[in-house]
Amino acid sequence: MVDHVESAPPTVHRPATAAEVAALVRAAAEGAVPLTVVSGGHGPWSHEPAAGLRLELGELAAIEIEGTSVRVGGGAVWGDVASALAAHGLALSSGDTASVGVGGLTLGGGTGWMVRAWGLAVDQLVGAQVVTAAGEIVEVSVDQHPELFWALRGGGGNFGIVTRFDFAAHRLPGIALAESVVDGDATAVLRAARELLRDAPRELTVTYMDVPPMDPSAPAGARLTAVWAGPDPDALRVELAPISALDGVRTEITEPAYRDILLEMPQPDGAEAPAPPGFIGGNGLVEELDDELIDRLVAFRRDFPASVVFLRSLGGAFGEVPQEETAFPARSARWFVMAGAFDVPGLLDDAGRAQAATDTERIVAGRLAEYSNFVDSERPDTVPGMYDAAAFERLRAVKAQWDPRNVFRRNHNILV
């Protein structure tokens, strides 16, 4: 987990305008005071008390919609964005959980139910308002400060505080959702999913999750969830047939509203809220779900009762964005894989913690890159592994230009 900076409580501020954010950043920079930026509050730095200034951006949560253009305050959460968009028949590719912040998720990239249909959250970002380390308010886009705009799309909170995100939303007349409970051979299901997703239409995104009892994230057992970005349950049924037909797989298809498939998690409640259980494990953006990787995942889950395995299909629109267009790594990855264990009392002892760490490093050893948004620990030496090599050098140059004194350092910090 993140190191404690100091034990003194932070001074909490809830700015309501970009100008107030700018004044607070100037004060922090002038006094060399550590700065913690909180949007949805799900990131590791939001849970770890640190002395200094804590900027909670929840007052900056306005959502303005004009045609398909959406302006979202830097402290909004995705559930509110989805609700506001639904009234206009629109949606954005975001994360899977309603209470996760637009700020943290977007700046790290943002993978969700529509990642194959529309790409990452950052792939829909067309501009932003940013308070820089110098306390200036700048507008960024492909035409205005293009390098800073590039860096914001995957480089995390390193470059400034985003007080407004401008997105281009998509029309979404409806969706279909399939939940497949897997009681049978997990290897067969994962191989079938791999084959299916090689040529599947981009409308289809799937996740696969296998968790033990007592895990806070989902009901126990293995399940594959498929979302079809369109009002066509029959298309989803046909696409999923190779998986649904497998022994031990029970599939149910429904047509919920997009807002309703965003999972609910209790909203962290300020600096004093208890931290959620830590996750010990690793993740990787991987080129392919090859047989060896599937075998390692299945064996990990089988031999280690506290283990959790999570996969998400990529490709589709995600893979069509040129690598250099955003700072996000590994556009050739076809899957995102995460393995580890939640550090819940009764589920994990010291030996289990050690096993979770070593086993998962082995599982994701062949990854193209690590996905920063799912890394809870603060290990500056691992930050280069979250980017393609050329992108990391470019990020360092942007950091040197916009935040040479590292005012924004409570994040996966890019060191100049």
Ligand X SMILES: Cc1cc2nc3c(=O)[nH]c(=O)nc-3n(C[C@H](O)[C@H](O)[C@H](O)COP(=O)(O)OP(=O)(O)OC[C@H]3O[C@@H](n4cnc5c(N)ncnc54)[C@H](O)[C@@H]3O)c2cc1C
Q: Which DSSP letter does residue 124 get?
A: G
Q: How far apart are CA 358 and CA 363, in angstroms?
A: 9
Site stretch for ligand X (CB under 6 A), options 11-19, 157-165, 347-355, 357-365: 157-165
Site stretch for ligand X (CB under 6 A), options 4-12, 106-114, 234-242, 397-405: 106-114
Q: Which is nearer to ligand X, 33 or 299 (CB)?
A: 33
Q: Is 41 in the site for ligand X (CB under 6 A)?
A: yes
Q: Which is nearer to ligand X, 86 or 263 (CB)?
A: 263
Q: Is 39 in the site for ligand X (CB under 6 A)?
A: yes
Q: Which is nearer to ligand X, 307 or 411 (CB)?
A: 411
Q: Is 107 in the site for ligand X (CB under 6 A)?
A: yes
Query: What is the chain's percent helix, strand, coil content, to nearest 5?
Result: 35, 25, 45
Q: Which residue has the tokens 């949560």?
A: 61
Among 22, 90, 125, 162, binds ligand X (CB under 6 A): 162
Among 52, 79, 112, 282, binds ligand X (CB under 6 A): 112
Q: How far apart are CA 46 and CA 34, in angstroms?
A: 13
Instruction: Tell which positions 360-389 bind ligand X, by CB under 6 A.
Output: 373-374
Q: Could you tell me whether strands 63-66 and 69-73 are parallel, antiparallel, or unpaired per DSSP bridges?
A: antiparallel
Instruction: Show the beta-strand stretches assigned E in 296-409.
Output: 308-313, 335-342
Q: Which is nearer to ligand X, 65 or 275 (CB)?
A: 275
Cα distances (Å, whole numbers) of residue 323 to 14, 107, 168, 229, 398: 36, 16, 20, 24, 17
Site stretch for ligand X (CB under 6 A), options 1-9, 41-49, 226-234, 383-391: 41-49
Token output for 19: 């100008």
Q: Which residue has the tokens 């409970």?
A: 181
Q: Is 92 in the site for ligand X (CB under 6 A)?
A: no
* Minimum CB–partner distance for residue 183 and ligand X (Å): 25
**Whole-angstrom Cα Rg for the chain:** 21
| Residue burial 296-324, b: 16+ Cβ < 10 Å; e: rest | bbbebbeebebbbbbbbbbbbbbbebeee
Among 79, 101, 119, 282, binds ligand X (CB under 6 A): 101
Q: For residue 42, report the phi and psi dihedrals to the nearest 5 degrees.
A: -90, -10
Site string for ligand X, 47-86 (x = CB under 6 A): ----------x----------------x------------
Q: Which is nearer to ligand X, 67 or 266 (CB)?
A: 266
Q: Which residues bind ligand X (CB under 6 A)?
A: 37-43, 45-46, 57, 74, 95-97, 100-101, 103-105, 107-108, 110-112, 156-157, 161-162, 265, 373-374, 410-411
